[in-house]
């Protein structure tokens, strides 16, 4: 996929969110400032969330009501050890969620459920663009 501007990333994310199937788990990896939260906001908009999600870096989990159902946004950046993720109540989140969007999944280790989609963002040669890998 070619490198994307912020507006292109938002457009892609919204379209992607509209196509997600119920129960989807999406992980978002990449360096600080690469656009993970920006992409989460766009995906959530595609899922019918009317408020703009903010990063749950300090609370770890935010819950949003979407047109299709509940959307969870998790940010595992501040986890000091993967076992700290045990306190995030994964079972309740997954049971309740139409979609679960997880930033910094590598910090939660084996606690992260198997994702439906893995997204990796990276800086492109042009500092205003981001590369996007979807698996």
pLDDT value of residue 55: 83
Q: What pLDDT, on a 0 to 100 scale, did the predictor assign at position 134?
A: 96
Above 80 in pLDDT, residue 11? yes
Q: How confident is the model at residue 84 (pLDDT cuts 50, 70, 90)?
A: very high
Say how far apart CA 74 and CA 28 lie, in whole Å: 10
Per-residue model confidence as pLDDT tens digits over 25-62:
999 999 999 999 999 999 999 999 999 888 877 789 99
Q: Which pTM does this prediction carry?
A: 0.94
Rounded Cα distance, 71 and 125, in Å: 33
**pLDDT score at 59:** 86
Q: Could you please state the CATH topology (level 3) that the domain comprising 6-134 is classified under.
A: Rossmann fold (3.40.50)
Per-residue pLDDT for 99 more than 80?
Answer: yes
């Amino acid at each position: 996929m070619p490198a994307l501007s912020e507006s292109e990333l938002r457009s892609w994310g919204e379209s992607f969110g509209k196509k997600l199937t119920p129960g989807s788990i999406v992980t978002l990896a990449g360096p600080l400032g690469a656009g993970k939260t920006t992409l989460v906001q766009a995906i959530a908009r595609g899922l019918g969330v009317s408020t703009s999600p903010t990063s749950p870096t300090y609370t770890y989990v935010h819950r949003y009501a979407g047109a299709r159902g509940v959307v969870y946004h998790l940010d595992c950046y501040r986890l000091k050890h993967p076992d700290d993720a045990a306190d995030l109540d994964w079972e309740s989140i997954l049971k309740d969620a139409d979609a679960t969007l997880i930033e910094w999944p590598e910090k939660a280790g084996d606690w992260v459920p198997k994702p439906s989609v893995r997204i990796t963002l990276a800086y492109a040669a042009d500092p205003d663009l981001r590369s996007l890998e979807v698996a």
